[in-house]
Amino acid sequence: MANETGRTDADAEARLIQLYTLAVEMAQRLSAQRGAANAFYLTVQTALASVLGLSTGTLQDMKWWVAVAICLIGVLLSASWWFQLRSYRELTRAKFAVIHDLEKRLPVAVFTDEWKVLRGGDGHRYISLGVVERTVPVAFAVLYLVIALGGVL
């Protein structure tokens, strides 16, 4: 049966499924971008920490401000990484809010049901990957601050 715009219910359902598929694909792409960003920052941070570790004897012979400057770069990289993760988290939250809204009009709500299971009352506490991944830049920042303080003291 056609509505006033000439579209059938089947057309509307097909469009809804297309929008849902697009929203899920966009969420997956965002997740892949987030993984690539994490790989980039982890590589840079590991390289910087390795250079600092391998040059410990040299750092002790350097002026204190050189070690502090190198560590400041590491702290700034850590802060940039952390803020980027926060941005990805907000974007992901928005994308899944849209997906959950679309699922209200579909016969099956896969992602909504998944979250219900994860947050269920079975005593199991779900810790999202976002919580875990945000601790890594903080750990690097603390490492650099300790090294910088060692260079000053």
| pLDDT of amino acid 127 | 72
At 53-81, the pLDDT tens digits run: 777 666 567 677 777 888 899 999 999 99
Task: Report yes or no on 117 lying in a domain.
Answer: yes
Task: Report yes or no on 107 lying in a domain.
Answer: yes
Task: Report yes or no on 3 lying in a domain.
Answer: no
Give the sign of the dihedral formed by CA 20, CA 22, CA 24, CA 30.
negative
Measured between alpha carbons, how far is 65 from 105 in angstroms, rounded to an integer?
Answer: 60
Task: Report yes or no on 1 lying in a domain.
Answer: no
| pLDDT of amino acid 116 | 84
Residue that wins the pLDDT comparison between 58 and 97: 97
Measured between alpha carbons, how far is 88 from 134 in angstroms, rounded to an integer?
Answer: 11
At 115-153, the pLDDT tens digits run: 888 877 666 777 777 788 889 999 999 988 888 877 655
Q: Which domain holds residue 118?
A: 9-152
Q: Which of 43, 52, 42 is nearest to 143 (CA)?
A: 52
Domain count, the chain: 1
Q: Is 122 exposed, middle or buried (0-12, 13-18, 19+ CB in 10 A)?
A: exposed
DSSP SS3 for 25: helix
- Residue bearing tokens 């991944």: 133
